[in-house]
Amino acid sequence: MVKGESSVGSVSWQSIRDAMMARIRAQDYAPGELIPNEVDLATEFGCARATVNRALRDLATSGFLDRRRKAGTRVREAPRRKATLAIPLTRAEVEASGARYEYRLLERMGETPPPSVREKLKLAGKERVLHVKSLHLADNVPHMFEDRWIVLDTVPEIEAVDLVKTSPNVWLVRHAPYTHGTMEFLAETAGARSKHLICAPDDPILTMLRVTWLDASPITFARQSFSPSHRMRLEL
């Protein structure tokens, strides 16, 4: 570790974060190894312990460090970085490209979900579930076909929502922000969806599966199928 390059002259938490980041880059702290503790780093940088804590917390939030009380702080073997989604994803995407966005409700029904959906949402058996199919367009051209299941036991209010006017995604984003979930990307052939997306059944399409939870309660499972050649862009 290079001690001579301390940042004594400038003691903002950002400068400490940057200095620590540089050391991580240079492998001064090997992946998996402990870094010096906060009190020692505060001495080295000539600032308060709370300031070091603030800097290290940012690095931990960004996925570079693992922090444990008493155990100390380690450089992660594999950084866990985050990518940003803007939600509502589809409307924002379409409008950002300068196109006119339109949403069309295709089907809405209370329905018993098939086993694959029950498994995704970890349903026990008695839950009421809403099944919604919709099409999202850009300049009157099909952009994304959505097949979505919403657990009414978790978000009963959506039952009173006019889903002709408001897409379930927009409503959920506003009224049922998830606490955690998963998102999967896969490539499939359009198949039966080609009639919605107006393409060839053999065309490759990007599909996104999303499951969201509110604490321990499942909110929704959505399968979004995009038109061929569509690219889903995330910011890193």
Question: Which of 3, 25, 69, 70 is in the footprint of its own copies by CB under 8 A?
Answer: 25
Single out the residue of 15, 23, 49, 87 in contact with its own copies (rule: CB under 8 A).
Answer: 87
- Burial grade of 175 (CB within 10 A; 0-12, 13-18, 19 or more): exposed
**Is residue 9 near DNA by the rule CB under 7 A?**
no
Q: Are 209 and 226 in contact (CB under 8 A)?
A: no
When CB distances are held under 5 to 8 angstroms depending on the partner's kind, the choice from DNA, its own copies, none that residue 99 binds is: none
Surface-to-core class of residue 66, CB atoms within 10 Å of its CB (0-12 exposed, 13-18 middle, 19+ buried): middle
* Segment contacting DNA by CB under 7 A, of 35-43, 186-194, 200-208, 224-232: 35-43
Question: What does the block give as tokens for 183?
Answer: 């998102």
Please enumerate in sequence order all residues whose Cβ is within 8 A of that of 66, keeping only pairs 6 or more positions apart, or say none. 60, 73, 74, 75, 76
Measured from the CB of residue 62, what is the shortest distance to its own copies in angstroms?
Answer: 9
What is the rounded CA–CA span in Å between residue 47 and residue 151? 51
Query: Exposure of 75 by Cβ count < 10 A (0-12 exposed, 13-18 middle, 19+ buried)?
Result: buried
For the bound state, the minimum distance from the C-beta of residue 63 to its own copies, rounded and expressed in Å, comes to 7
Minimum CB separation of residue 180 from DNA in Å reads 18
Selected from 12, 40, 46, 80, the binder of its own copies by CB under 8 A is: 80
Q: From its own copies, DNA, none, which one binds at residue 109 (CB under 5 to 8 Å depending on kind)?
A: none
The whole-angstrom separation of Cα 26 and Cα 170 is 44
Q: Which of 1, 8, 26, 48 binds DNA (CB under 7 A)?
A: 48
122 binds, among DNA, its own copies, none (CB under 5 to 8 A by kind): none
78 contributes a contact to its own copies by CB under 8 A: yes
